[in-house]
Amino acid sequence: MVADLTTRLEQAMGRIADLEARLKTSPANSSKPPSSDGLAKPAPKSLRSRSGRGPGRPKGQDGITLQRFADADVVRHVPTVCAGSPSA
């Protein structure tokens, strides 16, 4: 009777160890698909690091603006055949 209980206890302890090992697996450390995470997914982390530079041109640098022309060349393009009219 004691030998039978000892055997059953060893089997139960082995099963508990297997179940605990299964709980510790995640898609990051096993072949489980990411969809098996459920709602407890970790937040995505960017691999990009900050450069320390701000957006735009450096401070103190002169801006560059295109100059306006008083007499600009204007070319009007008019289609010779309208796509909406029936052709003969």
For residue range 20-77, list pLDDT tens digits in order: 888 887 777 777 787 777 777 777 888 988 888 888 888 888 878 888 888 888 888 8
Whether 34 and 28 have beta carbons less than 8 Å apart is answered as no
Helix or strand (DSSP H, E) at 69: none
- Give pTM, 2 decimals: 0.35
pLDDT digits (tens, 9 = 90+) for 5-16: 999 999 999 999
Rounded Cα–Cα distance for residues 41 and 32 (Å): 13
Whether 87 and 81 have beta carbons less than 8 Å apart is answered as yes
Give the pLDDT of residue 10. Answer: 94
Helix or strand (DSSP H, E) at 61: none
pLDDT category, 86, cuts 50, 70, 90?
Answer: low
User: How many other C-beta atoms are found inside a 10 Å radius of the C-beta of residue 32?
Assistant: 13
